[in-house]
Amino acid sequence: MSTQTPAIEVTDLVRRYGRTDAVNGLSLRVQPGRCYGFFGRNGAGKTTTIKCLLDLLRPTSGSVKVFGLDPARHEVEVKTRLSYVPDQVGFYPWMTVRDTLEYAASFRSHWNRDTERGLLDQFRLPLGHKTNHLSKGQRTQLALIAAICPEPDLLVLDEPTSGLDPIVRREFIQTVIGAYQDGAPGTRTVFVSTHLISEFEGLIDDFTIIDNGTEVLTLDADTARARYQKIYVRLPSVPHGLAIEGARLLHQRGRELQFVVNGNADDVRTRLAVHSPETIETESLTLEEIFVATLTPAGAAA
Amino acid sequence: MLFELNYKSAKPVYLQVVDQVRAAVASGAARAGDMLPSIRPLAEELRVNRNTIAKAYTELESQGVIQTLAGKGCFITGQASPLRKDARLKLVTEDIDDAVIAAHHLQVDKAEFVRLAADRFEAFAKRRARALQD
């Protein structure tokens, strides 16, 4: 692992609302230049964690560091180096697109006008329109422009593409790759929480799956796909109460069975061979399938 | 040259890009002097991290398959591998071992295996020849 200061470092984070533990002992670390996926079901604690990173909420206990700094004590240093795109974007409704960008730029020490012009052209945003007349897709595009033009070291995205049409979602992701990442390859970090895992699949270097406020799985995406595999077999007959050590039965329909394995596909294939399968096929799980397999109790999907 | 990524493959995404460029050269779909797309548009098109494409191109460059000309782009070299013959044979042997193991478990005997290997050599040679005519 790198010895650089992590872009984000969360250690034993706890955040309580009344008696509810929204985040309960979460730890994760995001290296600079990486694109980090933060996956969890609704209510898993994703937004609460992100709000702690942005100093919109204070941790109950544990620590949160951004660029090695405490966002509560070094608010300005941290905020000048990051941008945030939330799920619901709020703008002043009486401002035009042009005014909104000028207003956003006025808080920033740096603003790339070329990037702004390029993205405004690409998205064909009407500069003179008031923001309350924009569609949800246009509002997200405007928020993305405002987030990228300061060329921050860290881009925090919280469910950025939910509720958008597929074309806008694609453009959004392409903009993150192109206009944002390409500007300073190797140092621009993305932290994205999303349910649309398959859309972001190619972008994700590393990820954490969070459930009930704690980390369930952290891996880099290539390792995850190599480790989690689906084995499909058709047996001449299925012995009563068949159980294969090291494999989880995902589905069974008659003589066809589908198992999920974690890093031991070869062993499991050898164990299955004893039952003289008529066919045996292996494929990797996508990140979304890994998410579902990780958070579905054993047997529930069978 | 068209790329297609498969997230149901255990192969790392950057290696899929590497292998597809290598396959394109072996089959004549890409020829010496052909330019590869630049990193940013390819990353945008495939919707993958730009670092993934950069890593693939670095790997292809270290293998001598492509060459980066400053300010111009990445080109297929068409050059012979810079490795010594014993090193080249060793690399191919590793892949053949995998194929031999697969053949053993699928009851493909030596004669069939050798015939199949010869057929595949021919198939790639034909594809390269056809690509040259176009």
Lowest mean pLDDT among A40-54, A97-111, A178-192, B37-51: A178-192
Closest residue in B to A270 (Cα–Cα)? B105
Residue with the two structure tokens 């730009």:
B50
A177–B51: do the CB atoms touch at under 8 Å?
Answer: no
The C-alpha of B92 sits at a distance from chain A's nearest C-alpha, in angstroms, of 23
What is the per-residue pLDDT for A302? 39
- Whether A87 has a pLDDT exceeding 60, the answer reads yes
* Mutation for testing the B interface, residue in A2, A177, A192, A232 having most B CBs under 10 Å: A177
Task: Classify the phi-psi angles of A241: left when phi > 0, otherwise alpha if psi is within -120 to 50, otherwise beta.
Answer: left
What is the overall mean pLDDT for chain A?
92
Per-residue pLDDT of chain B (134 residues; tens, 9 = 90+): 889 999 999 999 999 999 999 999 998 889 999 999 999 999 999 999 999 999 999 999 998 999 999 888 999 998 777 788 898 899 999 999 999 998 998 899 999 999 999 999 999 999 888 887 87
A177/A298: higher pLDDT:
A177
Q: Which residue in chain B is spatially nearest to A179 when comparing CA positions?
A: B40
Q: Is the Cβ pair A229, B10 closer than 8 Å?
A: yes
As given in the structure block, the two tokens for residue A241 are 């109460």
Among the residue ranges A100-104, A163-167, A208-212, B109-113, the one predicted with the least confidence is: A163-167
Identify all chain A residues contacting B43, using CB atoms and an 8 Å cutoff. Answer: 177-178, 181-182
Where does the pLDDT of residue A298 fall: very low under 50, low under 70, confident under 90, or very high at 90 and above? low
**Mean pLDDT computed over A40-64:** 94
Contacts B41 to A, Cβ<8 Å: 178
ipTM value for the complex: 0.84
Q: What is the SS3 assignment for chain A?
A: CCCCCCCEEEEEEEEEECCEEEEEEEEEEECCCCEEEEEECCCCCHHHHHHHHCCCCCCCEEEEEECCECCCCCHHHHHHCEEEECCCCCCCCCCEHHHHHHHHHHCCCCCCHHHHHHHHHHHCCCCCCEHHHCCHHHHHHHHHHHHHCCCCCEEEEECCCCCCCHHHHHHHHHHHHHHHHHHCCCCCEEEEECCCHHHHCCCCCEEEEEECCEEEEEEEHHHHHHHEEEEEEECCCCCCCCCCCCEEEEEEECCEEEEEEECCHHHHHHHHHCCCCCEEEEEECCHHHHHHHHHCCCCCCC
**Model confidence band, residue A2 (pLDDT cutoffs 50, 70, 90):** low
pLDDT of residue B3: 93
Query: Taking the model in full, what pTM does it have?
Result: 0.88
What are the E-state strand segments in chain B? 35-36, 66-69, 73-76
What's at B45, amino acid-wise? E
The answer to whether B20 touches B6, Cβ cutoff 8 Å, is: no
List A29's β-bridge partners, or say none: A9
